[in-house]
Amino acid sequence: MATGYVYHEVFSWHDTGTVTGLFPSDPAVGLQPLAHFENPETKRRFHELVVVSGLIDRLTRLTARSASDEEILRIHTGDHLERIRAESELPKGGDAGDGLSPFGKGGFAIACLAAGGVIAAVDAVLDGEVENAYALVRPPGHHATAEMGMGFCLFNNLSIAAAHARHERGVERIAIVDWDVHHGNGTQSIFYEDPDTLTVSIHQDNVFPPHSGLLTERGAGAGWGSALNVPLPPGTGDDGYVHAVEQVVVPALRRFKPDLVLVACGFDAGAMDPLSRQMVTSDGYRRITRLLLDVAAETSGGKVAMSHEGGYSPAYVPFCGLALLETMAGAEPFGDPFLPIVGGFAGHPLQPHQAEAVASAAALVAEIGNRES
């Protein structure tokens, strides 16, 4: 069976405008205009490499559709939905909620298509139309909470798809693995008290949001134990990431036994990313994807759908993404011209302080599924 793939050109039309990476340009404080960090280039170039490499011929194209108000409201408040819709009508658009997440006129419709694109990927997997699926959507979603967008995210695409799977498709237990380099705070908060949704976030320790994604964040009430964080030290490379997946994600999924595995897939732990200090190569992404697919085959009949989150190196994201998609599709590697350089960085072997960080998270796996007493 094939791998499903969602992409729509309009995702590149989500307009984050001319800012200075993060902040509105302002000569008074020295902020010269520049593209927003979350601009179309990384995702557009990823898609184009999927086409130019020929991998597209191995994939099953899935059509994105717009998520409905009802689907979005399973996760988000009416206030948030209506504010995004209203600001989307303004000539210069609006901001998702934190002042760092601008969107242009018409951004609401694009955000609905991104969320619906992930739903389409999940449906195709649940229908058995494809073995697994990747939704290359934009804007991203994992920082968005029920009440607000933040961190370049408008709606929490993957959470909306998870709620669809549960409410419309009868899927009971869902695991959401987030390997974007930033903490999947929005997703975690949405399912914090839900014992049937396991959230596991592997991220660089304390990057974004500040002071978020700590080991001590474990879920609450009936959901205690179903949130798990793996904060990794800066400078973690391929072996450190593989170790984290082997020691935490694999046993967590074996213990939780999900019916469906969703992945919030960012490529900003990549070795050339400007917004993190990690060193993962295309080979590292290939290895963690293999591990994830293997454990999902064991626990969940191989049902895996991934949603694209961050990744800010226009040169390198396409090669990391291609390696991941090739692994999902069982295709031969096209190659990564950067690998001889980034793969040769010092520090790829597991370092003792990284092993220590992973061990601290791994110790919590035994409590998944337990209830607060």
Task: List active site positions.
Answer: 143
178 near Zn ion (CB under 5 A): no
Q: List the interface residues with Zn ion, window 287-316 (CB under 5 A).
A: 310
273 near Zn ion (CB under 5 A): no
Which residue among 38, 180, 194, 238 contacts Zn ion (CB under 5 A)?
Answer: 180
Question: How many residues at the interface with Zn ion, by CB under 5 A?
Answer: 5
* Alpha carbons 370 and 373: distance in angstroms, whole number: 9
What is the chain's Cα-based Rg?
Answer: 19
219 near Zn ion (CB under 5 A): no
Q: Is 95 exposed, middle or buried (0-12, 13-18, 19+ CB in 10 A)?
A: buried
Segment lying near Zn ion (by CB under 5 A), choices 93-101, 218-226, 262-270, 333-341: 262-270
Which residue among 58, 182, 287, 348 contacts Zn ion (CB under 5 A)?
Answer: 182
Q: Encode 316-353: b = buried (16+ Cβ within 10 Å), e = exposed.
A: bbbbbbbbbbbbbbebeebebebbeebbeeeebebbee
43 near Zn ion (CB under 5 A): no
Q: What pairing do the DSSP bridges indicate for beta strands 304-308 and 260-265?
A: parallel
Segment lying near Zn ion (by CB under 5 A), choices 48-56, 267-275, 285-293, 323-331: 267-275
Q: Min. distance of Cβ 268 from Zn ion in angstroms? A: 4
286 near Zn ion (CB under 5 A): no
Cβ nearer to Zn ion, comparing 181 with 253: 181
Report the helix count and the strand count for the chain, using DSSP H and E.
12, 12
Q: Min. distance of Cβ 311 from Zn ion in angstroms? A: 7
In the block, which residue shows the tokens 């001590």?
216
217 near Zn ion (CB under 5 A): no
Q: Which residue is nearest to Zn ion (CB)?
A: 310
Cβ nearer to Zn ion, comparing 74 with 308: 308
The amino acid that residue 99 corresponds to is: G
Backbone dihedral angles phi then psi of residue 351, each to the nearest 5 degrees: -100, 150
